[in-house]
């Protein structure tokens, strides 16, 4: 491990340990000395358990990759992992205390600890992240990267390395390149990859070639396997939607399932329970708001309040989707197509509802009824689905899960009249990488950046 990586690891482990111990002791102090009803004598046992709590949390933080140095520091991604790790440690602690400790430990204190540890960990990691970014600007902790190969995939990777979200990167050269130098990197002339690594001293070696250079790539991969202290990654010639697909084998023959986008039975059960609970609460809390929107729609234009339209969901089943009516009834709809900007059919209140996505709220009842999910690929009309199935490879795979009110593509800006191919890639990424935490993350993103969108007409 490089000295810079060791320093960052020490900083992270130390900061996390202080956050864990601090949150545990503060929770005990509040419960036994501040909140009425606590037995002060129990605080001694609480202090003794701090080592166990520290071990559990550090284990799950490490297990979830929070001590692996990544090229990009994503605050949202790191925060999600922190919360999930703290929750796993919390559950394990409850089990251990229940089965192995005869003396009861205050449930109030444990609950306080879980709340405090999330706050403390997120705060500490935010401070550490700020320190790391400031250090990058001063030239400290810089990650040295050697590019190996050539082609569009490697060029795109180099551009991503120099995006605003990625800092502290230094390209030390390009080896075995062809054509123009990628990002102006120096061409490294050496007989083998090992010699190129000795000359440039990288921490990361990135191998990427076009599909036509398969044999050349295989030769370089074989040389990459001989490197012991440098991390080596390969950029495969695969669509982005295949992120999350695992390589399996049949009698030691590597295989990759092309249509692996699916969610298992028990995962579907968990997703369905989440849909019912979340949408039921949503309907109860939003009922006054739904009534106000219904009155506005009714009073501002003649016609029904709810607009019904046939859409396609899981297994290409056709269902009736509900929306607040946002268009006039006296203008024919015409052939199936996406609504365009300044469409004369859209009413004044309808334009606001569409821009804020409030017209989609009646679909909460679709979710309760089982035809939709809270999160999933947005449903299309049967005519458009039939057209896209003929024209776009892989489009049909979106229908392996139920259609959703919101989705990973939508919260990333791919909605309305935008690239359909890009939207499909995001939808398939969602299906391949689904977790319940992923659904919760998209729900939160929907509130913060998914309702109002410039492409919603």
8 A C-beta contact, residue 115 and residue 160:
no
Strands (E), 256-402: 306-312, 318-324, 373-375
Radius of gyration of the chain (CA): 27
Q: How far apart are CA 345 and CA 214, in angstroms?
A: 54
Query: How far is it between the farthest Cα atoms of the chain?
Result: 78
Which residues is 375 bridged to in the sheet?
406
Does pTM top 0.95 for this prediction? no
Residue 250 neighbours by CB distance under 10 Å: 7
Q: How far apart are CA 348 and CA 339, in angstroms?
A: 15
Per-residue pLDDT tens, the chain, 457 aa: give them: 566 678 888 999 999 999 999 999 998 888 877 877 656 556 677 788 899 999 999 999 999 989 987 777 777 788 888 999 999 999 999 888 877 766 667 778 888 999 999 999 999 999 998 888 888 888 888 888 999 999 988 998 888 888 766 778 889 999 998 888 888 888 999 999 999 999 999 989 999 999 889 899 999 999 998 888 888 999 987 776 666 667 777 777 777 776 666 677 788 899 999 999 999 999 999 999 999 999 999 988 888 999 999 999 998 999 999 999 988 776 655 555 555 556 667 888 888 888 888 899 999 999 999 999 999 999 999 999 998 888 887 788 888 899 999 999 988 887 766 778 788 888 888 888 888 888 998 998 887 765 555 555 4
Q: How far apart are CA 324 and CA 354, in angstroms?
A: 9
Q: Which residues contact 363 (CB under 8 A, 6 or more apart)?
A: 321, 322, 323, 372, 405
* β 169-175/187-188 pair status: parallel
Paired tokens of 389: 């199935």
Instruction: Map tokens 């979710």 to a residue.
Output: 367
Residue 124 neighbours by CB distance under 10 Å: 21
Closest CA to 5 of 141, 126, 125: 141
Sequence-ordered alpha helix ranges (H) in 162-311: 193-200, 214-224, 265-300
Q: What is the pLDDT of residue 43?
A: 67
Q: What is the pLDDT of residue 134?
A: 86
Residue 409 neighbours by CB distance under 10 Å: 26
8 A C-beta contact, residue 457 and residue 340:
yes
CA angle at 415 for the pair 417 and 420, rounded to the nearest 5°: 65
Q: What is the pLDDT of residue 240?
A: 66
* 427 phi, psi to nearest 5 deg: -65, -45
8 A C-beta contact, residue 433 and residue 241:
no
* β 143-149/169-175 pair status: parallel
Q: What is the pLDDT of residue 290?
A: 94
Q: What is the pLDDT of residue 180?
A: 82
Q: What is the pLDDT of residue 457?
A: 43
């Amino acid at each position: 491990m490089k000295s810079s990586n060791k320093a960052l690891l020490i900083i992270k482990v130390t900061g996390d340990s202080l956050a864990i111990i601090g949150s545990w002791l503060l929770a005990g102090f509040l419960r036994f000395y501040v909140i009425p009803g606590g037995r002060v004598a129990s605080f001694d046992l609480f202090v003794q358990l701090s080592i166990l709590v520290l071990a559990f949390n550090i284990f799950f933080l490490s297990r979830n990759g929070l001590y692996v140095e990544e090229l990009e520091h994503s605050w949202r991604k790191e925060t999600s992992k922190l919360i999930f790790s703290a929750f796993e440690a919390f559950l394990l602690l409850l089990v251990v205390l229940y089965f192995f400790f005869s003396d009861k430990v205050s449930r109030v204190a444990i609950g306080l600890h879980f709340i405090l540890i999330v706050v403390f960990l997120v705060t500490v990691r935010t401070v550490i992240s700020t320190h790391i970014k400031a250090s990058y600007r001063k030239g400290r902790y810089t990650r040295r990267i050697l590019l190996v190969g050539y082609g569009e995939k490697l060029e795109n990777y180099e551009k991503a390395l120099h995006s605003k979200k990625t800092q502290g990167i230094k390209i030390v050269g390009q080896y075995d390149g062809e054509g123009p130098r990628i990002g102006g990197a120096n061409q490294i002339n050496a007989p083998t990859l090992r010699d190129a690594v000795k000359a440039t001293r990288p921490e990361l070696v990135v191998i990427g070639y076009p599909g036509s250079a398969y044999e050349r790539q295989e030769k370089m991969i074989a040389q990459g396997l001989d490197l012991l202290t440098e991390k080596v990654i390969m950029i495969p010639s695969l669509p982005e939607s295949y992120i999350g697909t695992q390589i399996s084998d049949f009698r030691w023959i590597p295989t990759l399932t092309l249509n692996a986008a699916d969610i298992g039975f028990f995962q579907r059960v968990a997703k369905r329970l989440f849909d019912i609970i979340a949408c039921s609460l949503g309907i109860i809390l939003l009922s006054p708001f739904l009534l106000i929107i219904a009155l506005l729609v009714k009073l501002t234009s003649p016609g029904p309040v709810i607009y019904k339209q046939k859409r396609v969901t899981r297994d290409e089943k056709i269902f009736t989707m509900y929306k607040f009516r946002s268009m006039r009834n006296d203008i024919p709809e015409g052939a199936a197509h996406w609504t365009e900007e300044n469409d004369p059919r859209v009413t004044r209140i309808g334009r606001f509802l569409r821009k804020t996505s409030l017209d989609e709220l009646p679909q909460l009842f679709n979710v309760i009824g089982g035809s939709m999910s809270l999160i999933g690929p947005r449903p299309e009309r049967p005519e458009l689905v039939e057209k896209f199935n003929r024209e776009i490879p892989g489009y049909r795979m979106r229908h392996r899960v139920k259609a959703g009110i919101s989705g990973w593509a939508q919260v990333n800006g791919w909605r309305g009249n935008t690239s359909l191919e890009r939207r499909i890639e995001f939808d398939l990424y969602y299906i391949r990488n689904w977790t319940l935490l992923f659904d919760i993350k998209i729900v939160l993103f929907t509130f913060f950046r998914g309702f109002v969108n410039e492409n919603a007409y």
